[in-house]
Amino acid sequence: MNITLKNGDLMTLEENATCMQAALAISEGLARNAICAKVNGELVDLSRPLNEGDSLEIVTLKDKEGLQVYRHTCAHVLAQALKTVYPTCKLSIGPVIENGFYYDVDFVTPITAADLAKIEVEMQKIIKSNLPIERFTLPRKEAIELMKGYSEDYKVELIEDLPEDAEISFYKQGGFTDLCKGPHLPSTGKIKAFKLMNMAGAYWRGDEHNKMLTRIYGTAFAKKDEMEAYFTMLEEAKKRDHTKLGRELKLFALMNEGKGLPFFLPNGMVLKNALVEYWRQIHAREGYVEVSTPIMLNRSLWETSGHWYHYRDNMYTTKVDDEDFAIKPMNCPGGILAYKNEPHSYKDLPIRMGELGIVHRHEKSGQLHGLFRVRCFTQDDAHIFMTREQIKDEIKGIVRLINEVYTLFGFKYHVELSTRPENSMGSDEDWAAATDALRSALDDMKFEYVVNEGDGAFYGPKIDFHLEDSIGRTWQCGTIQLDFQLPQRFEMEYIGEDGGKHRPIMVHRVVFGSIERFIGILIEHFAGKFPVWLSPVQVKVMPITERQAGYAKEVYEMLKAQGIRVKLDDRSEKIGYKIREAQMEKVPYMLIVGEKEAEAGLVAVRRRDKGDTGAVTAEEFLQTIQKDIAGKIAF
């Protein structure tokens, strides 16, 4: 039989040859590194037989899917170890998550973090045994009986909830069997580096009315040195924790009086306003107009947009004069009403409409996390209304803008193009045209991107930007979403060149995303050492003794008059103490004024990360810092 390889080459194999046999036929090295395979785009075990005409791709740990399968097998090894050490425990689910896996377990006698070490020892035994991992399927009734025989009540419930015609598969390794869709590693011995991390409580199926289970988290990597690098990164992340630095640098506060509703303090407002000012500058340059829409609008609007039916659990609602209102969770419907406020011609388009809108979303208290997950935030939205012919150029303009912003902050990033999901709205023609426009824009700009099949919004395809910070973590921030549906729902129109009424195309896009979340990311990315243009305090002037206080104040007043964010530290403290305090506050520049400096009309410049850089006149220093601010230079 013939199969097609990833590069398009044909390969001839014997009938019913497996994916592993195909890998061996390609090379022994590939077979040795193989984790699983993709057959006709579907992830499968290496033991899967092939058929005439199949397309085949061998997956290794260099592939994202390979690492996910590797980690999922670790979850099964954890489950087997738990059943060995605690035979009465009941297993529920054990999925892969970013950087690792977890398993939710119901224990008769609760365990503690101290027990993780002995569980790891048992896992090492299972790995060392190199147990083959075998897949089999059962009819629904037999599958339920099998899990009842093992007293796995949660597995029985999962099977009962599957569709009647679903294929029910299991994986067996040694004496342990688990319900699972797969795929998995060929054997447990393929696992080289893992670590159990911690434990937490988790409700069964995420429902607070269900029983609280114990969730055991773990991580796994292809090599030990990769895992060590990951733990080094975690330690660095602890030092950069934005909630800790936000408190120390007096940027924001989180209070019980408003859970999930951050309070921005004076230093934080300086930082936030600097970002907003930058946002306004670049958007004005790019031809955007700015609007502000109400924070609360009536029910009929949210019914038209679909949010009342599909998003109401995340919305805050109230009544005004016996009429239902909702506080906006998104800015889009208000932006549409702003567009509809007056008639438009094709000559008006594209209209690029930006809004720094405050939105509220009801997040569960257990999901709140610093500035990363809040209930109130400022979304740097923009909605672009255009003709079909303008889509490609507008997308390219947005991509250029997002690239400019992320490059300024020193972020690397990768791009994903997400295509039509199963529960989408709209015609095949609209989806094809929209997806082609996004793809073509990225291709024209020679952007590398990954296609994320089926992960678009229900109303249109999208481009997502995943930025990488200074210690290698990724964050999804920028997004560009094409929307054919809301213009239709709201009966939006423009008068075309032919004099007839036409429906505009709408693009939703953000650059920062949530400004609050972006600030949290910046705090951790820079470890609180913001570039000069963003720093709440840019300079501290510090006289060594009281005799230089008068000259220090003159320098302070001169810098302040030029718009520099400067503070004067003329306390009767030793200069070493003042410098240490300024370093802790991560002030970019410290100006030390001693007797020599005061007599010569100079300032001794000390930089946050470089120490003393020499003495200059106050005017020379002013030119230096103004250049840093104007060029938004990061150091």
Cα–Cα separations (whole angstroms), residue 515 to 272, 316, 333, 511, 527: 8, 21, 20, 9, 18
pLDDT at position 503 is: 94
User: What's the total number of domains in the chain?
Assistant: 4
How many Cα atoms occupy the beta-carbon half-sphere of 294 within 13 Å? 8
Q: What is the pLDDT of residues 271-289, one digit of tens each?
A: 999 999 999 999 999 999 9
Domain hosting 29: range is: 2-60
Cα–Cα separations (whole angstroms), residue 354 to 440, 482, 546: 25, 16, 51
Report whether pLDDT(635) > 70. no
What CATH number does residue 169 fall under?
3.30.980.10
Cα–Cα dist 242/262, whole Å: 13
**DSSP at 426:** S
| 358 and 463 housed in the same domain | yes
Active site residues: 332, 361, 379, 381, 383, 462, 508
| 214 and 252 housed in the same domain | no
Domain assignment present for residue 585? The answer is yes
Cα–Cα dist 262/368, whole Å: 11
Top pLDDT among 365 and 374 is at 374
DSSP letters, 122-150, are HHHHHHHTT-BEEEEEE-HHHHHHHHHHT
Q: What share of the chain is helix, strand, coil (3-state, %, to 5)?
A: 40, 30, 30
| 55 and 87 housed in the same domain | no
Q: How many CB atoms lie within 10 A of CB 276?
A: 16
| 88 and 182 housed in the same domain | yes
pLDDT at position 158 is: 97
| 488 and 616 housed in the same domain | no
| β-sheet bridge partners, residue 326 | 297, 317
The SS3 of residue 207 is coil
N- to C-terminal Cα separation, the chain: 61
Report whether pLDDT(296) > 60. yes
Report whether pLDDT(187) > 60. yes
Domain assignment present for residue 569? The answer is yes
| 373 and 412 housed in the same domain | yes
| 51 and 70 housed in the same domain | no
Contact 123, 81 (CB under 8 A): yes
The SS3 of residue 244 is helix
| 350 and 465 housed in the same domain | yes
Q: How many CB atoms lie within 10 A of CB 526?
A: 20
Residue with tokens 């224990």: 107
Q: What is the pLDDT of residues 148-179, one digit of tens each?
A: 999 999 999 999 999 888 889 999 999 999 99
Q: What pTM, to 2 d.p., does this model score? A: 0.83
Report whether pLDDT(532) > 80. yes
| 468 and 593 housed in the same domain | no
| 73 and 51 housed in the same domain | no
Domain assignment present for residue 426? The answer is yes
Domain assignment present for residue 301? The answer is no
Domain assignment present for residue 303? The answer is no
What CATH number does residue 363 fall under?
3.30.930.10
| 33 and 80 housed in the same domain | no
DSSP letters, 184-202, are --SBGGG--EEEEEEEEEE
Last residue of a domain, one of 60, 79, 106: 60
* Interacting residues of 561 by C-beta distance below 8 A, sequence separation 6+: none
Cα–Cα dist 22/66, whole Å: 17
For residue 159, give both structure tokens. Answer: 């099977």
Domain assignment present for residue 534? The answer is no
For residue 217, give both structure tokens. Answer: 């988290």
| 406 and 496 housed in the same domain | yes
pLDDT at position 372 is: 93
What CATH number does residue 559 fall under?
3.40.50.800
Handedness of CA 247, 375, 367, 475 (dihedral sign): negative
